[in-house]
Structure 1
C-alpha cells in the first residue's frame, strides 16, 4: 500500500474515534501501519518521510479531532444527566414540574401541561389513569415510554402515587439505548434467532407489525409468525409485556445508555507526598521528590512512563541503607513547568538538575538512572563533571540505531520511537486522541495494552503495590498533556552518543533479561569493553525491573560511593 493510502487510512480512522471511543485501537493500528506496513516489520517503510518539526496539516487535523472528542465527551456527560428524569404531575390540574434531567430529556421548560410533554399517547394515558384513581396505589406501575423529541428515545418509566401526597403522581424516566450488544444479550437470554431479534428490535422502537414488515422487506404473515415465536420463548402473553420485560432487563444491566466500558472512577492526579518546588528563571518551577529517610542523597533520573514513585518495600530498604533519593520531574512532567520550547528542552532538563544539586548543597553526588531517563542522565552526568561520584543505571537505554534495535521492541515502543523521530505530529495526534480514551478505560487497560508482549510485566498488574506505583508514574507523565511526551521522546531518540562517551565515572548497570523495550544483549554489546562499567543482566525481570528487583537495586545503591 502506498504512503498516501496509509496516511489517509490513519486519518480516516482518527476521525472515527470521537463518535466511537472503541475505534481508538483501530486508529492506533492504522498509525502503526503508516510506519510499518507489517506489524512485525523490523524496519520503517522506505517511503516514510522524516519531519524535523511539526506537520502543520496533521496538527490541524489533530486539533479538530481533539475538539470533536471534547464535544463528544460533553454530549455524553449531558446525556448521562438524563438517566433519572423526575416528573411530578398534579392529579388535580395536570400541571407538570421536573428536575434538570427531565428538562434535558424532554426539551421542556417547567411548569407545563401534561399534554405538552413529548410522550407517546400510551404513556400519557397510563399517567392519566393513575391520576384518576381514587384508591391507594397497591404497586408501582412500570411502562415503556417514548420521549418524542427530534430523536425518539425509549425510556423505562416508573409511575408512583405517593400515599402522603394525595395530589401528586410521580414519574421517573430512564433512557434506554437498544444497542447492538444489548440486543445480542437479549437474543441469548431468550434463545431468539437473528430474524426474531430484528423483529423484537422493531417492537422496542415502538413500530407496528406492518411497519416492521415494511422496514425488513418481509411479508406481514412472516412478522406475525416470528412475533408468536417471541411470545412463546419469552413466556409472555402480549408483546407489550415482552417490551416491558426487555426494558427491565436493560435497566438491570445498566445499559442506560450503552456502556461497554464504564468510565473509570480513577482520578488521574500526580501524587504530591514528598513534593517540593524550586524557583527557576523565567517564572518556572522545578518539582522534585524526596524518597526515603536516610541521610545520604542520590540524584534519581526517572524513566519515561514510570515516574519517581516507589513501593513501600523499596522506601524502607532505602532508609535502612541510610539513603534517600532526590528525584526531579522533567519539564512538563508532574508539576514541573514546561521548557520554553522543544528546542531548549534538553538544556532545561540539565540546568534544572544541576540547579537542584546546587540548591541542596551537594558537592559530590551519585546518580541513579532509570530506563527512558538514560539520555537525560548522561547529559546531566556530563554537566556535573567532577561532582559526579558514580552511577547506577537500572534498565537503561542506549542511543537507538533503527537498523539494529527496532526488531526487538514491542509494538508500542517501536511506534513511539519512530513517530517521535520521523513525524512528531503523528505522535502528538495519537496522544491527544488516546489520552481521553484511556482516562475512560482506566490505568490498568492502558498498561495491559502497553505490556501485551511481556508476560512478566503483565503479572505485575495483579500486585496492588506494583499497580499503584505504575499508575502514579502514568499520571505523572500525562499531568500536563501530550507535549511533554513529544519533547521527552525526541530527546531519547536523538543521537546522544557523545554524552555517553564523555562520562567516565564508575557505572553499574542492572539490565532486565526480559526487557521488551530494548534487548539486554544489545545493551550489553554496546557497553562491552567500556571502562569502569560493571554490567549485569538480571533474569526474571522486564520493564518493571526498578520495582520487581528492589532488593538488587537497593543493594547496588548502597554500594555507590
Structure 2
C-alpha cells in the first residue's frame, strides 16, 4: 500500500470517530499502519514515510476540524433535553402534530405540522392512526420500534399513549437508543444468542426487514429466517416485535441510553493538588511542584510523562524510613504548571524551571531521581546543574532512540508514538486530541488496558485498586491541559539527547525492568555498559510500573544517593 493510500485511509477513518467513538481503535490502527507500510506489528519504518521537522498544516487543519466535531457531538450527547426526550401530541380532530424542542431537534420539524408530514416510518404512522381512531381510552401503552428522519433514519423506541383525560389527543414519547457493540454483546449474552444471531437481532433493532438484514449481512433470506426463529425461541417471545420491546425495556433498565453510556466513567480527570505548591515564573507563568517525604536530603524527581508524581501508601511508608525528600516539578503544560511559550522552547523551559525551583528552595547540592520518559529531561537538568549535581537514580529510564535497533522491542503504541513524534508530529497531535475525549468517556482503566495490552505484568497491576488509582492520577496529570504538552514531551524523548547523557559524569544507579514493554532492558544495558560511574541492575518480574512494584529496590537506591 502506498504512502498516499495509507494517509487517506487514516484520515477517512479519523472523520468517522466523531459520530462513532468505537471507531477510534480502527483510527489508531490506521495511524500506526501509516508508518509501518500497512502493518501494525511491523518494526521496520516504511521507506516512503516523509519526515516533517515541524507541523503539517494540512493535518493540523483536519485535526482541529475533527476535534470540533467531537466536541459538538459530546455537547449534543450531554444535552439530554435536546435529543433523547422528544415528546409529541397528535390531535384526533385536526391530525396536527405539536412537540417539545427536543422533538423539533430530533425530527427537524416546525410545529404544528400535519401528521402526514411528520418524519416517522409508515408502520409507526399507521399505529398512531389506529390509536387515534380508537373510541375509548387505551388501557395499555404501546411500545413500538420506529424510524425517525427522512434523509438519515434513526431507530427509536416510540411509547404511544392515549391518556384518559385527553380523549382528543394521542401522546407519543420518542427515545433514541444507541445499540452499541457493548449493549448488543450484553443482550446476546443475556439471551444466549450466538454472535451471528446477535447480528441478526441488531438488524431488527435497526428497524430493518428480513430482506434488508440478509442483504446487509451478506446472507440468504432463509438463513435470516432460521436464525430469527432461534432468537424467538431463546427469548421466549412469539413475535419479533415482542423481542424489540423486550430489548428496549432491558436497554432502559441497564441505563444504556447514550446520555448514560457517554461517558461510561464518572472520573473527574482532575490532577490532585495534595502536597502541591506553585512557584511564580514571570510573564504569567507558574511552576507546580510536589513535595513528598520529610527527610533532609533533597532529591529532584523527574517523573515519566504517564506516571506523574504520585505514589502508593506503601511507597510513602517506605520513604518515611529514609532521610529523603522528593521534590517533583510538573513540566510545562502538565498538571497545573503553565505551558511553555512555544513548543520550540519546551525543553529549555523544563531545565530553567527545575533550576529556578532548586534556587527557590535554597538547595546547594541536589541528587536526581529520573523516571522513564523523564530521562532526557533529567540528563539535561543534570548537565545544567554542573557542580551542584549529586548522584543520580534512573528508574526504567530510556536512552536516545536508534530506529534500526530499538523499535523491534517496543509495543505497537510506543513504537507508533516514537515514530509519529519524530517523523510526523501532527499525526501524534491528531491521535492525542481525538483519543483524549474518547478515553474520557471510556475511563482510565480502558486506556491503561490498551497501553499494557502486550505486557501481562503491567496488566496485572490494574487489579490492585491503589495501583490503578495512582496510574490514573498520572494520566490525569499528563492531559490536564490537553494533548499539546504530551506531544512536546514525546518530542523531547525522541530527540537526539546523546550529548546531554554523555556530559553527565555523576554516579548513576540504573534500575531497569526485565519486562519493560517500552524499551528493552538489554538494549539499555548494552548502551550504558562501559560508561564511567554507572551501576546497572535489571529487576526480574517487573514491567513498566517498576516505580510502583519494585518499592524496596527503589527506596534502597534512593537512600544511597549522596
Q: How does the TM-score come out when normalised to structure 1? A: 0.84
Q: Match of 2:44?
A: 43
- The offset of 1:91, in angstroms, is 11
Q: Match of 1:205?
A: 207
Q: Which secondary structure does the structure 2 equivalent of 1:52 belong to?
A: coil
Q: Match of 2:546?
A: 545
Would the alpha carbon gap of residues 452 and 121 (structure 1) be closer, same or farther in structure 2, given more than 3 Å must change? closer
Q: Match of 1:430?
A: 431
Contact 1:231 1:238 in 2 (8 A): no
Contact 2:77 2:262 in 1 (8 A): no
- The offset of 1:322, in angstroms, is 3.2
Tell me, yes or no, if structure 1 residue 486 matches structure 2 residue 487.
yes
- The offset of 1:390, in angstroms, is 1.0
Superposed CA offset, 1:218-270 (max 9, x none): xxx99999899689746666665555445435544655459988633222221
Distance (whole Å) between structure 2 residues aligned to residue 279 and residue 11 of structure 1: 41
Q: Match of 1:420?
A: 421
Distance (whole Å) between structure 1 residues aligned to residue 223 and residue 502 of structure 2: 79
Structure 1 residues 284-323: aligned runs within 5 Å: 284-323=285-324
Distance (whole Å) between structure 2 residues aligned to residue 312 and residue 426 of structure 1: 38
Would the alpha carbon gap of residues 157 and 335 (structure 1) be closer, same or farther in structure 2, given more than 3 Å must change? same
Q: How does the TM-score come out when normalised to structure 2? A: 0.84
- More divergent stretch after superposition (40-49 vs 236-245): 236-245
Contact 1:123 1:145 in 2 (8 A): no
Q: Match of 1:13?
A: 13
- The offset of 1:537, in angstroms, is 1.2
Would the alpha carbon gap of residues 53 and 123 (structure 1) be closer, same or farther in structure 2, given more than 3 Å must change? same
- The offset of 1:373, in angstroms, is 0.5
Would the alpha carbon gap of residues 244 and 519 (structure 1) be closer, same or farther in structure 2, given more than 3 Å must change? closer
Q: Match of 1:519?
A: 520
Distance (whole Å) between structure 2 residues aligned to residue 296 and residue 106 of structure 1: 67
Contact 2:379 2:504 in 1 (8 A): yes
Structure 1 residues 169-248: aligned runs within 5 Å: 172-176=173-177, 189=191, 205=207, 233=233, 241=242, 243-248=244-249
Q: Match of 1:363?
A: 364
Distance (whole Å) between structure 2 residues aligned to residue 176 and residue 379 of structure 1: 53
Q: Match of 1:273?
A: 274
Q: Match of 2:339?
A: 338
Tell me, yes or no, if structure 1 residue 401 matches structure 2 residue 390.
no
Contact 2:346 2:488 in 1 (8 A): yes
Would the alpha carbon gap of residues 269 and 114 (structure 1) be closer, same or farther in structure 2, given more than 3 Å must change? same
Contact 1:199 1:212 in 2 (8 A): no
Would the alpha carbon gap of residues 432 and 231 (structure 1) be closer, same or farther in structure 2, given more than 3 Å must change? closer
- The offset of 1:409, in angstroms, is 1.4
Tell me, yes or no, if structure 1 residue 504 matches structure 2 residue 505.
yes
When the two structures are aligned, how many residues end up with a matched partner?
Answer: 552
- More divergent stretch after superposition (82-91 vs 58-67): 82-91
Would the alpha carbon gap of residues 228 and 417 (structure 1) be closer, same or farther in structure 2, given more than 3 Å must change? closer
Would the alpha carbon gap of residues 122 and 187 (structure 1) be closer, same or farther in structure 2, given more than 3 Å must change? farther
Contact 2:255 2:261 in 1 (8 A): no
Structure 1 residues 33-182: aligned runs within 5 Å: 33-37=33-37, 38-78=39-79, 81-85=82-86, 101-102=102-103, 104-105=105-106, 120-125=124-129, 128=132, 133=136, 142-144=143-145, 152-158=153-159, 172-176=173-177
Q: Match of 2:3?
A: 3
Tell me, yes or no, if structure 1 residue 377 matches structure 2 residue 375.
no
- The offset of 1:98, in angstroms, is 6.6
Superposed CA offset, 1:28-65 (max 9, x none): 22222222224443332222222211122222222222
- The offset of 1:470, in angstroms, is 0.8
Contact 1:365 1:389 in 2 (8 A): yes
Q: Match of 2:447?
A: 446
Q: Which secondary structure does the structure 2 equivalent of 1:466 belong to?
A: helix
- Can you give the 5+ residue segments of structure 1 that lack an aligned partner in the other structure? none
Would the alpha carbon gap of residues 46 and 96 (structure 1) be closer, same or farther in structure 2, given more than 3 Å must change? closer
Superposed CA offset, 1:376-431 (max 9, x none): 11111111111122111111111112222222111111111111111111211221
Distance (whole Å) between structure 1 residues aligned to residue 226 and residue 514 of structure 2: 61
Contact 2:184 2:198 in 1 (8 A): no
Q: Which secondary structure does the structure 2 equivalent of 1:499 belong to?
A: helix
Would the alpha carbon gap of residues 557 and 164 (structure 1) be closer, same or farther in structure 2, given more than 3 Å must change? farther
Q: Match of 1:23?
A: 23
Distance (whole Å) between structure 2 residues aligned to residue 513 and residue 65 of structure 1: 40
Superposed CA offset, 1:122-155 (max 9, x none): 454576589x757xx8765545556567655544
Distance (whole Å) between structure 1 residues aligned to residue 289 and residue 99 of structure 2: 51
Structure 1 residues 439-478: aligned runs within 5 Å: 439-478=440-479
- The offset of 1:302, in angstroms, is 0.7
Would the alpha carbon gap of residues 201 and 286 (structure 1) be closer, same or farther in structure 2, given more than 3 Å must change? closer
Distance (whole Å) between structure 2 residues aligned to residue 95 and residue 36 of structure 1: 60
Q: Which secondary structure does the structure 1 equivalent of 2:536 belong to?
A: strand
RMSD: 4.2
- More divergent stretch after superposition (527-536 vs 186-195): 186-195
Superposed CA offset, 1:308-356 (max 9, x none): 1111111122123233211001111111111111221111110000000
Contact 2:145 2:207 in 1 (8 A): no
Contact 1:196 1:227 in 2 (8 A): no
Distance (whole Å) between structure 1 residues aligned to residue 127 and residue 139 of structure 2: 19
Q: Which secondary structure does the structure 2 equivalent of 1:320 belong to?
A: coil
The structure with the larger Rg is 1
